[in-house]
Amino acid sequence: MSQSTLAPAGPAAERIATLTWLITGLAAAVMLAVLAYLAVAILRRRGLEDEPRAVNGAFVVGVFGVGLPLAILLVTFGFALNALAALVYPPSATRLTVEVIGHEWWWEVRYPGHENAITANEVHIPSGEPVQVRLSSDDVIHSFWVPQLQAKMDVIPGRANRTWLQADQPGTYRGQCAEYCGLQHAHMSLLVVAEPPDQFERWLAAQSRPAGPPQGQAARGLQAFAASGCLACHTIRFGGDSPGGKIGPDLTHLASRQMIAAGTLPNNPAGLAEWIADAQFVKPGNKMPAMHPDPEQLRDLLALLQSLS
């Protein structure tokens, strides 16, 4: 999945890509001019001249050492200021705010106004419109970066930073923590899923509802989930009072997500089984202990988790 700033998918990333190409073009032009000047100096047959031609050093230094670099810097500075202003302020009013909270090493995602819509490592947004993103951290400094949509923004404990996202077309865009935050910094990615507005509204409504009561093997999985102590860290909302911990991701709609463990594993039976059996082997240093369930418990837990759509 692309993470290139040179493949922009929204207006903010388009500004960054334009500025990147401008600076690259200017740098290439300066390099070619220097190489050409050097080639001329080498190829001049000064040895055939009775006397070297005088060169106005002050003029050369003034034009090529001061004037031209100053003009280039002023041009790039002006374009950079214009791009920065565009990155701070969305092109139009926003109707939706998403709250993203950084943890070691995963992303919690909430939708204010839809208090039960809580997910992890996936930010769903409607395509074609700007969305405000409120950023905070639960532990150390992280950095929220989706290269195809927006510049990176630091996520700082005790401080709420803001940015915005807009994807011009529906699609899935990969993001990454861009500030070293510990052992599993490299495995702290996220997905931004841009959907047509009507499809996004259906997704948000589904995420706001509690999970359906587990049946059969999934019900046995819920018993194993509680007996294994998973409720100390995770919550599954079945309606009413749903006790559970806040250390790990809310699992109410786990089966609707594409990845688990902040992009470390695909969300399929094999990935879930590997994560449940020994999360410390998959992602050393994370806060989930190795479970090592017996085969029957593992099948029951998988039935439960796959039912949480």
* List of residues 6+ apart from 173 with CB closer than 8 A: 1, 9, 146, 148, 149, 167, 191, 192, 194
Contacts of 169 (CB under 8 A, 6+ apart): 9, 127, 128, 194
Q: How confident is the model at residue 86 (pLDDT cuts 50, 70, 90)?
A: confident
pLDDT at residue 55 greater than cutoff 90: no
- The percent of residues above 90 in pLDDT, for the chain, comes to 71
Is the dihedral angle over the CA atoms 90, 94, 97, 98 positive or is it negative?
negative
Give per-residue pLDDT as tens, 99-108.
Answer: 999 999 999 9
Q: Which CATH number is associated with domain 217-306?
A: 2.60.40.420
Least confident range from 8-17, 44-53, 133-142, 286-295: namely 44-53
Q: What is the pLDDT of residues 158-206, one digit of tens each?
A: 999 999 999 999 999 999 999 999 999 999 999 999 999 999 999 999 9
What are the pLDDT digits (tens) for 244-256?
888 999 999 999 9
- pLDDT score recorded for residue 188: 97
- Find the farthest-apart pair of alpha carbons in the chain and give their distance in angstroms, rounded: 102
Give the pLDDT score at 11: 93
Write the DSSP symbol of residue 157.
B
For the cut 90, the answer to whether the pLDDT of residue 61 exceeds it is no
* pLDDT given at position 273: 95
- Domain range annotation of the chain: 11-88, 217-306
